[in-house]
């Protein structure tokens, strides 16, 4: 292979690697294990299992009935209230790498949340506050 062809092949490989890196960045906030494999929607049952909380606790946090969540855990009407919970899990997973560490963090008082326990805030319906604090911290913005 002549040098020009070799150089071109190398540039193509670099471009592909850059594209893959950008795609990974675009999708890094999505944890497939929190989604229903058929619909692609967030699944309350999977999120509750990840967090090791009862479905009734998650139902209360989302303002939905347990019966409705049992019937359709990936319903369109659940996507908005589940989004900050999933965002919190995804952001923590990027940093902490293991489910155990994520759950430990969620059950530990945090100074940027007024020394409140993040899981308690989530279960009281304030998952957005936890997700916003994490997103700001990762962006380097002071709390």
Q: Over the chain, what HEC string results?
A: CCHHHHHHHHHHHHHHHHHHHHHHHHHCCCCHHHECCCCCCECHHHHHHHHCCCHHHHHHHHCCCHHHHHHCCCCHHHHHHHHHHHHHHHHHHHHHCCHHHHHHHHCCCEHHHCCECHHHHHHCCCHHHHHHHHHHHHCCCCC
pLDDT digits 0-9 by tens, 106-137:
999 999 999 999 999 999 999 999 999 998 88
Provide mean pLDDT across the span 66-84.
Answer: 96
pLDDT band at 4 (very low <50, low <70, confident <90, very high): low
d(CA 83, CA 37): 17
Spatial neighbors of 30 by CB under 8 A, at least 6 apart, are: 90
Kindly report the pTM of this predicted structure.
Answer: 0.79
Q: Could you tell me which residue, 64 or 11, shows the higher pLDDT? A: 64
């Amino acid at each position: 292979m002549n040098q020009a062809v070799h150089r071109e092949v190398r540039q193509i490989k670099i471009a592909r690697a850059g594209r893959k890196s950008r795609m990974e960045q675009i999708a890094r906030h999505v944890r497939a294990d929190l989604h229903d494999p058929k619909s692609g929607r967030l699944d309350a049952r999977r999120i509750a299992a990840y967090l090791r909380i009862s479905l009734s606790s998650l139902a209360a946090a989302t303002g939905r009935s347990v019966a409705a969540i049992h019937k359709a855990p990936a319903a369109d009407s659940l996507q908005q209230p589940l989004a900050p919970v999933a965002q919190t899990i995804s952001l923590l997973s990027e940093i902490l790498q293991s489910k155990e560490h994520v759950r430990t963090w969620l059950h530990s008082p945090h100074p940027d949340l007024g020394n409140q326990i993040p899981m308690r805030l989530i279960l009281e319906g304030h998952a957005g506050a936890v997700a916003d604090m994490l997103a700001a911290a990762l962006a380097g913005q002071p709390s």
